Structure 1
């Protein structure tokens, strides 16, 4: 994916988030290029999967890649269900079903697994539906933190 395609995708992710949550994605006030900051510098993960029968990741920002220990090329080849261990997949799927129904879920926390099978926790997750302007669903996006408590001063938690 080239820079223009990545920027377009990040803008679509952000627009869908704002439509559902009523506020923009969290961006540092010092950010110059918002798309570049969200991709390279955001202190939280952003992941997106498509709507295939077994959804695959179609985007991961730098924080998500570091958390899951995949390269960008690698993460785009795996089903998103593999982000959770076998035992944690039913809870993950339950949450994704709620997103299908409600459009957005807030305050999701849970265990995930990296490329090497090591478990880590995600916190304060927000998962939302991605729709085209005509209303057609094309994916789901997730924003998550990997530190239980530490947040930048500019962070405004989203609460439903």
Structure 2
């Protein structure tokens, strides 16, 4: 599979993928992910620069990330190349991965959830709690599922732990 380009002005900030995220979000939740005044050609830029975190991963047993906006990249302390090479399960600590798997199974069955809260981990091992996250299936107009996405606007740093939590995948 070819590498996914980083969002830039030259590629419309991955406008087609951003539009897919936004239309899938609306399809499942009945709400808009972005302000209604954003022009269709500007959705990619608007979502990439949004003040909330937005991420997506593809389908599969151990899905890789396919997208993160600037807020999410900053929170997880990743650059674009690191993000798209990373299985999304590594955004949680090993002990929380079973809980995350149950959450994603619930999303697969119900289409979306909008009540998720949990602990995530950055590249450096910094832990933070996210709240009021919405997770949804990314589905195109033909009903083909392309993965899942998540957005959240609430996060809080957690105290450092005494054990090493940095994942080898982040090295």
Q: Which residue of 2 aligns with 1:122?
A: 130
User: What TM-score comes out, normalization by structure 1 length?
Assistant: 0.84
How far apart, CA to CA, are the structure 2 residues paired with 1:112 and 1:102? Answer: 23
Question: Pairwise CA RMSD of aligned residues?
Answer: 1.9
Q: 1:4 deviation in Å?
A: 3.6
Which residue among 37, 46, 55 is the counterpart of 2:63? 55
How far apart, CA to CA, are the structure 1 residues paired with 2:12 and 2:36? Answer: 22
Unaligned stretches of 5+ residues in structure 2: 157-171
Aligned residues: 146
Unaligned stretches of 5+ residues in structure 1: 149-160
Q: 1:27 deviation in Å?
A: 3.3
Q: 1:106 deviation in Å?
A: 0.6
Alignment CA distance shift 1:28-1:136 (3 Å): closer
1:27–1:34 Cα contact (<8 Å) kept: no
How far apart, CA to CA, are the structure 2 residues paired with 1:53 and 1:88? Answer: 17
Alignment CA distance shift 1:121-1:28 (3 Å): farther
1:27–1:38 Cα contact (<8 Å) kept: no
Post-superposition CA distance 1:100-135 (Å, at most 9, x none): 000000121100000112211111100000112222
Q: 1:13-24 alignment to 2 at 5 Å?
A: 13-24=21-32
Q: Which residue of 2 aligns with 1:112?
A: 120
Residue 147 of structure 1 aligns to a residue in which SS?
Answer: strand
Q: Which residue of 2 aligns with 1:154?
A: none
How far apart, CA to CA, are the structure 1 residues paired with 2:122 and 2:155? Answer: 15
2:12–2:44 Cα contact (<8 Å) kept: no
User: What TM-score comes out, normalization by structure 2 length?
Assistant: 0.79
How far apart, CA to CA, are the structure 1 residues paired with 2:154 and 2:70? Answer: 13
Q: Which residue of 2 aligns with 1:156?
A: none
Alignment CA distance shift 1:108-1:82 (3 Å): same
How far apart, CA to CA, are the structure 1 residues paired with 2:68 and 2:35? Answer: 16
Q: 1:146 deviation in Å?
A: 3.7
Q: 1:10-159 alignment to 2 at 5 Å?
A: 10-27=18-35, 33-40=42-49, 42-147=50-155
